[in-house]
Amino acid sequence: MTYKILADSACDLPLSYYDDNDVILFPLKVNLENKEYEDLKTINPSAVYEAIRRGEVPKTSQVSPSLFKDVFTEMAQNGESGIYVAFSSQLSGTYQTAQMIYEQVLEEYPEFQLSIIDSKCASLGAGLAVQECVKQRQLGKDLEEAVKQARFVCEHMEHLFTVEDLEYLAKGGRVSKASAFVGGLLQIKPLLHVEDGKLVPLEKIRGKKKLLRRMLDVMEERGVSLDTQTIAISHADDLATATELKEAIMERFHPIDVYISSIGAAVGSHTGAGTIALFFQNSK
């Protein structure tokens, strides 16, 4: 018995991934210069980064409730079940809205089975969980097993990332203003991570080279069996640094693969250009 896999655009998988792996996409919305766009579908990340550099401040909003309603209702009418890996509930209302719409659909279709996972992850942290769902389905595993494995991936996901300007992240309410420290003139770079779905500053490091080395050191401290993992890196208009980090990871840890993808328009609207994010499994 097969099942549907659903994901929102905040997991930062490319549009081609959804098409190639039969994953249903829920795009978050981006409002830029008084126009509303659908992440991945009608706007690309480069447009957001160019606008930010011009001084524009893009806004984002969660997945349309009507889209959830349409997709869930169609699945229920067709007798289909599914699994939806949602953007962290601490960073967006998307998970809560999906859960609310699911409960509404259940009133009319009480047999409808949909597991909605609050990933407590962002970007490719959630993306790796979506890929795990696809893997489980390809292996012929049932929905219950796919949900179990996806939850495990989410619960053990480490996020390490740096942004060009932490103040920009604070303005969007994604980290507290009290936590925002600015060190541009001194080339001080913030290193952040995720705790219970929230973005939390971890350290301040001077210089890009030292920062990348420190990311690898923290990865070694927190990671488990890194040589058996697929590591992920997402970047905001900085493929060169992402590639440099990938090469260093391959040389030091010899993972199965290092997957690189661009940070999408929705997440990128809050991080700004120049963000580098690293994702791997921990031993907690």
pLDDT value, residue 173: 60
CA angle at 8 for the pair 47 and 129, rounded to the nearest 5°: 115
Structure confidence by residue, pLDDT tens digits, 60-109: 999 999 999 999 999 999 999 999 999 999 999 999 999 999 999 999 99
Contact (CB, 8 A) for 37 and 29: yes
> Do β-strands 29-32 and 59-61 pair in parallel, antiparallel, or remain unpaired?
antiparallel
Element (H, E) at 124: helix 124-138
> 0.75 exceeded by the pTM?
yes
**Calpha distance 42→95 (Å, rounded):** 22
**Calpha distance 103→271 (Å, rounded):** 33
Contact (CB, 8 A) for 114 and 146: no
Closest CA to 6 of 156, 106, 119: 119
What Å distances lie between residue 127 and 59, 120, 139, 163, 209, CA to CA?
22, 12, 18, 20, 27
pLDDT value, residue 152: 97
pLDDT value, residue 186: 55
Along the chain (284 residues), what's the average pLDDT of each consecutive run of 10 residues?
94 97 98 96 94 90 97 98 97 97 98 98 98 97 98 97 75 56 60 91 88 96 97 97 98 98 95 94 83
pLDDT value, residue 1: 63
Element (H, E) at 66: helix 65-77
Q: Where are the extended beta strands (E) located within 80-165?
A: 82-86, 114-118, 157-162
Task: Beginning with the edge strand found earlier in the chain, give each strand of the sheet holding 114-118 in spatial order.
Answer: 23-26, 4-8, 82-86, 114-118
